[in-house]
Amino acid sequence: MAKMKYFVSLGSNLGDRARHLKQARLLLEKAGSRILRQSSIYETEPVDYQKQPWFYNQVLEIEIACNPISFLDLVKDIEQKMKRRPAFDKGPRIIDIDILLAEKTVVQTQKLMIPHPRMSFRNFVMIPLNEIAPDLVHPLFHETIADLARTTGDTSSIRKVEEAPQQLAV
C-alpha cells in the first residue's frame, strides 16, 4: 500500500488534556504514522454541548500506508486503547480523533465522510489547520484552508496554549 497523507484533529477535555494529545500522537506513530506537521495546541470552548470542560485541540498532518477506511479503524482503535467512553454524542471525552482530509480523496459512506463534513464550520479545526496548511485546497469547496478559516461562522472562543514544535521537513 502506498503511503497517504492525512490531516487529523485531536481533541480532549477530560483529565490531563495535554498528556492525552501527546499519548494520541505517540500511539499514531507506534501504529506506523509519521507526523509531518503539527499545529500549536489550542484551548477551545465547547461548540455543540456547552456544559462541559473546555477542550485542548490540535491538528496533525501525518503520512501512513493505510487507505481511509483502514485508517479510520486505526484511529478508533487508538481511542479505545485510550479508554474513550463518551457518555453521549458531543459530550466530554478523553480523546477524539477525527480524520479531516485524505489528500484529494473524497469518501462518502455511512461509516466515514472525508472531507470531514463539519470541519469548515469549526474554529477548533480550522484555526490549527490554517496554521500548518493555509494553502491546502479543500477537495469539495475548491477554496484554500486560509479562505475557509476566515469564514467559519463559528463564534466560539479559542486561544493558543502551547506553540507548535519545530516542524519536520515535508
Query: Catalytic residues, which ones?
Result: 84, 93, 96, 98
60 contacts 27 by C-beta, under 8 angstroms: no
SS3 of the chain: CCCEEEEEEEEECCCCHHHHHHHHHHHHHHCCCEEEEECCEEEECCCCCCCCCCEEEEEEEEEECCCHHHHHHHHHHHHHHCCCCCCCCCCCCCCEEEEEEECCECEECCCCEECCCCHHHCHHHHHHHHHHCCCCECCCCCCEHHHHHCCCCCCCCEEEEECCCCCCCC
Measured between alpha carbons, how far is 96 from 26 in angstroms, rounded to an integer? Answer: 15
